[in-house]
């Protein structure tokens, strides 16, 4: 007898095949049978015609610290995710010496918009090396399956210490870093992740350590993948790491290269398509490059007291250094500071997170001063035009006028959905970029899979539901060599998602206080999700999470 039988389901196999009506049986955590009548089960669930698909695989999360206190990877599992990949961009917490712990957390606070108080109160530091970190995750258990990158910035900090963000490494230091990467791969890392993005800065605007790596270091550390014959190279690319350079890395090592973040930038809308074409050409030459794309407009809430999108500007650093002091207002008022910001924002060749185009969506959500209450809901671009001001001047003047804590909301990239659909449908693209676990006070894109099903498939009809499911299940599993997941076939792990195609999506944004120390995060609840199973164990039902069933596996074995 089977452990579980789900009957009367519309089965979407995750491979892009047409859906079919039928039953699915689970035995010992794996799919035992799919058909019209699969026999008896100790537990039976009537799907009532709802869609049954593989659980969503989220390739781009930042739950590295979060999982040490929250086995749920909140809120991802409730949003249909059964497998998360952590360590993206190389922003990890392992390896880490005791002396570097607080520096690591302070950097994460800036580069990934995390709460420093929550990190300090929540992280379990019962490890130093990367293998010890994996062992800690395995011993704690998790609700979703977890795969982990070894991260460049952490490895660099472990070897160079205080100088990790200051200088190039010596050949001996590079050799030590390479050995750590090889040990991590042997212990079960899914690959090696890094960032060269110019806007990835840590505390006080100092570049994250990986940005100091020279050509020799990058070649050697990525070369560890080739020598091991396993693993994915994941990169959040800056302007200096071109697609041809990444193709050369793929050719040298024979390993997949995952390139983030491929958004449509209003400053240069065609750049991403030029790069996608280069990726396609590289694949035609037998080199496996992938574009990691997002299905949301990249947007977030922020205040001028801690303006994460503006901190992407190199010219904003004087304001970062003055944060929390009386000099902050003086910096914001300085005409030379403003002129430098405006000049950088107008430079289309440098892909900032913020530009003059952003003002057309930048909206005042809530004000701090009652005398400004009539401005709530208005766009900065409109207000600046009415005042005959440059929008940067209007915004900074607004902040100085008692509104540093006014809540603002903006859309930065992917605002033209008619072009975004071309990215989502591209055969060499993977849909991810949720950033789940990061930027918790600014955004919550962990429901990206539900958005694919509800918005892009049902509402816009740009992508067939079967293809939308495949894009966030089997394709994700195959790129990262995650065996027997992301598909509904006999023998595969029973990671399942039951949902209503007529209503599926994510709910309105709300704020909840459930981080360590009562910290606040943005949440978007699931709509139309009726069940999530991880390795055959139900962890979500129609009322939400079902309890702390640590059914997930720490994934350490990957196909070559």
Q: Cβ of 423: how many Cβ atoms within 10 Å?
A: 20
* Crossing angle between the packed helical segments 130-140 and 171-187, to the nearest 10 degrees: 20
Look over the chain and give the mean of its residue pLDDT values, rounded to a whole number: 94
* 387, 394 Cβ separation under 8 angstroms: yes
pLDDT at 438: 84
- Partner residues linked to 88 by β-bridges: none
Q: Token pair for residue 420? A: 């975004």
Instruction: Check residue 174 and give its pLDDT.
Output: 98
- pLDDT > 70? residue 447: yes
Quickly state the pLDDT bin for 30 (edges 50, 70, 90): very high
**Residues 557, 89 contacting (CB under 8 angstroms):** no
- Asked if 546 and 538 touch (Cβ cutoff 8 Å), the reply is yes
3-state SS, residue 175: helix
* Structure-block tokens of residue 281: 């050409």
In this prediction, residues 185-203 reach a mean pLDDT of: 93
Q: What pLDDT band is residue 336 in, cutting at 50, 70 and 90?
A: very high
CA dist 414 → 265, 270, 353, 449 (Å): 7, 12, 11, 16
As given in the structure block, the two tokens for residue 179 are 């050995």
Alpha helices in 237-349 (DSSP H): 243-253, 271-284, 317-322, 327-333, 335-345
Which helix (DSSP H) or strand (DSSP E) does residue 130 occupy?
helix 130-140
Torsion sign, CA atoms 61, 267, 259, 223: negative
pLDDT value at residue 382: 97
Whether the Cβ atoms of residue 487 and residue 475 lie closer than 8 Å to each other: no
Residue-wise pLDDT for 71-106, tens only, equals: 999 999 999 999 999 999 999 999 999 999 999 999
Q: What percent of the chain has pLDDT over 90?
A: 82
User: What pLDDT, on a 0 to 100 scale, did the predictor assign at position 349?
Assistant: 56
Does the pLDDT at position 293 exceed 90?
A: yes
Give the pLDDT confidence of 243-265 residue by residue, as tens digits. 999 999 999 999 999 999 999 98
Chain centroid, CA 475 distance in Å: 17
The single residue listed with the structure tokens 């979500």 is 540
Ordered by where they begin, the domains of the chain are 56-297+414-481 (3.20.20.140), 301-411 (no CATH)
User: Greater confidence, 166 or 354?
Assistant: 166
User: What ranges in 141-235 are assigned the alpha helix state H?
Assistant: 152-160, 171-187, 215-228
pLDDT of residue 560: 86
Return contacts of 242-247, CB within 8 angstroms, 24+ apart.
Answer: 243/275, 243/278, 243/279, 243/282, 243/289, 244/278, 244/282, 246/282, 246/289, 247/278, 247/282, 247/285, 247/287, 247/289
pLDDT at 308: 81
* d(C-alpha 483, C-alpha 230), whole Å: 13
Distance CA 58, CA 132 (A): 24
User: pLDDT tens across 482-529, in order?
Assistant: 999 999 999 999 999 999 999 999 999 888 888 888 888 888 999 999
- Report d(CA 138, CA 124) in Å as an integer: 13
Burial of 528 (0-12, 13-18, 19+ CB in 10 A): buried
CA dihedral (375, 377, 380, 382) positive or negative: negative
To the nearest 10 degrees (0 to 180), the angle between helices 243-253 and 271-284 is 30
Distance (Å, whole) CA 107 – CA 93 = 10
pLDDT for position 507: 92
What distance in Å separates the CA atoms of residue 263 and residue 271, rounded to the nearest whole number?
A: 9
Q: Give the confidence band of 435 by pLDDT, cuts at 50, 70, 90.
A: very high
Asked if 510 and 528 count as a contact pair (C-beta separation under 8 A), the reply is: no
**3-state DSSP assignment of residue 331:** helix
Residue 67, pLDDT above cutoff 60: yes
DSSP 133-163: HHHHHHHH--SSEEEEEEEHHHHHHHHHGGG
Q: How many helices (H) and strands (E) does the chain have?
A: 17, 24
For residue 496, the model assigns a pLDDT of 98
Beta-strand (E) ranges in 281-416? 289-293, 298-302, 363-366, 407-413
Beta strands 51-54 and 56-58, pairing class: unpaired
Confidence category of residue 198, pLDDT binned at 50, 70, 90: confident
User: Residue 541's pLDDT is what?
Assistant: 95
**Residue 352 above 70 pLDDT?**
no
Strand partners, 21: 10
* pLDDT (average), residues 355-382: 95
C-alpha to C-alpha distance for 506 and 80, rounded to whole angstroms: 11
Question: In a 3-state reduction of DSSP, which class is residue 451?
Answer: helix
The model's confidence at residue 314, banded by pLDDT at 50, 70 and 90, is confident
Give 325: exposed, middle or buried? Use CB within 10 Å, 0-12, 13-18, 19+: exposed
Among all chains, which residue has been given the structure tokens 């009506």?
Answer: 21
Question: What's the average model confidence in pLDDT over 382-396?
Answer: 97
Looking at residue 350, its pLDDT comes to 54
Higher local confidence (pLDDT), 320 or 285: 285
């Amino acid at each position: 007898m089977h452990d579980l039988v789900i009957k009367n389901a519309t089965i979407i196999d995750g491979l892009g095949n047409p859906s079919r009506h039928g039953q699915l049986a689970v035995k010992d955590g794996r799919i035992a049978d799919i058909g019209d009548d699969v026999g008896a089960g100790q537990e039976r669930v009537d799907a009532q015609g709802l869609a049954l698909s593989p659980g969503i695989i989220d390739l781009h999360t930042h739950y590295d610290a979060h999982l040490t206190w929250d086995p749920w990877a909140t809120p991802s599992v409730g949003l249909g995710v059964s497998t998360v990949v952590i360590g993206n961009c190389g922003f990890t917490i392992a390896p880490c010496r005791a002396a570097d712990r607080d520096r690591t957390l302070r950097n994460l606070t800036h580069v990934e918009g995390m709460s420093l108080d929550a990190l300090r109160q929540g992280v379990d530091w019962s490890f130093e090396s990367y293998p010890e970190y994996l062992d800690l995750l395995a011993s704690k258990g998790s609700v979703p399956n977890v795969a982990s990158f070894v991260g460049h910035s952490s490895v660099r900090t472990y070897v160079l210490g205080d100088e990790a963000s200051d200088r190039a490494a010596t050949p001996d230091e590079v050799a030590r870093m390479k050995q750590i990467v090889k040990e991590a791969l042997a212990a079960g890392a899914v690959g090696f992740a890094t960032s060269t993005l110019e806007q990835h800065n840590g505390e006080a605007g100092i570049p994250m350590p990986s940005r100091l790596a020279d050509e020799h270091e990058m070649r050697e550390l990525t070369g560890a993948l080739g020598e091991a014959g396993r693993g994915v190279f994941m990169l959040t690319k800056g302007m200096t790491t071109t697609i041809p350079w990444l193709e050369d890395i793929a050719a040298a090592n024979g390993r997949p290269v995952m390139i983030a973040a491929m958004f449509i930038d209003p400053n240069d809308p065609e750049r991403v398509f030029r790069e996608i074409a280069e990726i396609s050409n590289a694949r035609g030459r037998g080199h496996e490059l992938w574009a990691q794309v997002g299905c949301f407009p990249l947007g977030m809430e922020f205040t001028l007291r801690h303006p994460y999108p503006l901190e992407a500007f190199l010219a904003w650093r004087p304001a970062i250094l003055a944060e929390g002091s009386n000099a902050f207002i003086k910096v914001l008022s300085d005409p030379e500071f403003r002129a430098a910001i405006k000049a950088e924002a107008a430079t289309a060749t440098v892909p900032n997170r913020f530009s003059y185009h952003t003002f057309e969506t930048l909206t005042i959500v809530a004000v701090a001063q009652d005398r400004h209450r009539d401005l709530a809901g208005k766009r900065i671009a409109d207000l600046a035009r009415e005042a005959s001001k440059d929008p940067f001047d209007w915004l900074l003047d607004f902040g100085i006028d008692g509104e540093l804590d006014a809540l603002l909301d903006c859309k930065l990239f992917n605002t033209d959905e008619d072009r975004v659909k071309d990215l989502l449908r591209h055969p060499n693209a993977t849909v991810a970029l949720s950033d789940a676990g990061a930027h918790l006070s600014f955004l919550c894109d962990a429901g990206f899979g539900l958005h694919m099903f509800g918005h892009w498939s049902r509402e816009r009809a740009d992508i067939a539901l079967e293809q939308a499911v495949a894009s966030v299940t089997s394709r994700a599993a195959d790129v990262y060599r995650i065996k027997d997941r992301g598909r509904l076939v006999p023998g595969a792990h029973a990671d399942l998602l039951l949902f209503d195609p007529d209503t599926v999506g994510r709910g309105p944004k709300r704020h909840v206080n459930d981080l360590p120390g009562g910290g606040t995060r943005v949440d978007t609840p699931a709509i139309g999700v009726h069940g999530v199973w991880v390795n055959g164990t139900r962890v979500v039902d129609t009322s939400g999470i079902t309890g702390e069933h640590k059914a997930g596996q720490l994934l350490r074995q990957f196909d070559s």
